[in-house]
């Protein structure tokens, strides 16, 4: 029985499974684990009281952080659903002359409907005979179907801990020093690495490989994305023969979290 081939096959399957899982998570997150909203909140936390003004197609949004509270004021303006609908009604009174304008506004109108339907959070407020509909847009801002509506929202934020931590996430200490890899040094073999030193996306690792004739090497790896990394290094010791070697290798691996 060729244990080397069996071990290599199992390791290859594990790498495929982990790579597929983290690739799927990356795809679900839209390609970026840190959202624009989180980055804005972190910036405002560092600049307490500073007002950040944002504009969308239908709203002006002011955001600021006081202590641990995000304060948002939104005023809907421009081509809102109700505004565009009223304009379309007027233009259709003379449809033949306003054909091009109607076509353009119709596209805007359909976009407003699509945005509203995609929103998971919708609120209807009734004041006397007037009804105001509020919903959350794709950027997470509260906006209205109606023009001129002012919306004020206060939200609690998590304390800003370290510059690379995402606001609102539960932070847990994760040990990800171990790596499983496929290594090539002229032959393909499984490898296990341990990170000795991490700096940004780079790691200095001690790597054991070629388990039929065990060897120990040192390499530098680069974090490609998520938990995937690629590295290159040199074999230093043939453990079985107890002698120094100089075998260069490359490896592709995945970090194991526990």
Give the pLDDT confidence score for residue 104 in this predicted structure: 86
Share of the chain above pLDDT 90, in %: 5
1 has pLDDT over 60: no
Residue 52 gets which letter from DSSP?
E
| 117-150 tens-digit pLDDT | 888 878 888 877 778 888 888 878 888 888 888 8
Can you read off the two tokens belonging to residue 50? 């500073």
| 58-91 tens-digit pLDDT | 888 888 888 888 888 888 887 888 888 888 888 8
Task: Please count the other Cβ atoms lying within 10 Å of the Cβ belonging to residue 98.
Answer: 16
User: Rg (Cα) of the chain, in Å, rounded?
Assistant: 28
Q: What is the dihedral of CA 79, 80, 82, 88, to 10 degrees?
A: 30
121: phi then psi, degrees, rounded to nearest 5: -115, 115
Q: How many CA atoms lie within 13 A of 146 on its CB side?
A: 13
Alpha helix (H) residue ranges in the chain: 3-28, 36-46, 81-91, 99-118
Give the pLDDT confidence score for residue 163 in this predicted structure: 44
Range of lowest pLDDT (168-172, 204-208, 238-242): 168-172
**Bridge-partner residues for 251, per DSSP?**
183, 231
Contact of 222 with 155, CB cutoff 8 Å: no
Q: Is 103 helix (H, G, I), strand (E, B) or coil?
A: helix
| 215-237 tens-digit pLDDT | 999 999 998 877 788 889 999 88
What pTM was estimated for this model as a whole?
0.44
Return left, alpha or beta for 106; rule: phi > 0 is left, psi -120 to 50 is alpha, else beta: alpha
Across all residues in the chain, what is the average pLDDT? 78
**Bridge-partner residues for 43, per DSSP?**
none
Q: What residue spans define the domains of the chain?
A: 3-32+175-256, 37-156
Q: What span, in angstroms and rounded, lies between the C-alpha atoms of 205 and 208?
A: 10
Sheet of 52-55: strand order equals: 52-55, 59-66, 69-76, 150-156
Give the pLDDT confidence score for residue 219 in this predicted structure: 93
């Amino acid at each position: 029985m060729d244990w080397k081939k069996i071990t290599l096959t199992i390791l290859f399957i594990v790498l495929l499974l982990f790579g597929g899982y983290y690739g799927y998570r990356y795809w679900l997150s839209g390609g970026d684990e840190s959202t624009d909203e989180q980055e804005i909140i972190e910036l405002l936390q560092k600049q307490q009281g500073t007002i950040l003004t944002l504009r969308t197609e239908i709203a002006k949004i002011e955001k600021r952080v006081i202590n641990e509270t995000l304060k948002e004021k939104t005023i809907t303006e421009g081509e809102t659903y109700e505004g565009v609908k009223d304009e379309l009604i007027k233009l259709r009174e003379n449809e033949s002359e306003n054909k091009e304008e109607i076509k353009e506004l119709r596209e805007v109108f359909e976009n407003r409907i699509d945005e509203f339907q995609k929103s998971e959070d919708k609120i209807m407020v009734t004041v006397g005979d007037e009804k105001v509909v509020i919903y959350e847009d794709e950027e997470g801002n509260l906006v209205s179907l109606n023009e001129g509506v002012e919306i004020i929202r206060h939200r609690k934020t998590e304390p800003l801990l370290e510059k690379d931590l995402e606001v609102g996430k539960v932070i847990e200490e994760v040990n990800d020093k171990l790596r499983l890899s496929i290594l090539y040094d002229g032959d393909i073999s499984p490898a296990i690495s341990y990170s000795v030193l991490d700096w940004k996306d780079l790691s200095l690792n001690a790597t054991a490989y070629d388990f039929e004739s065990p060897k120990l090497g040192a390499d530098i790896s680069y974090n490609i994305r998520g938990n995937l990394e690629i590295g290159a290094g040199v074999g230093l010791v043939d453990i079985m023969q107890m002698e120094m070697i100089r075998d260069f290798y490359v490896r592709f691996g995945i970090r194991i979290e526990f």
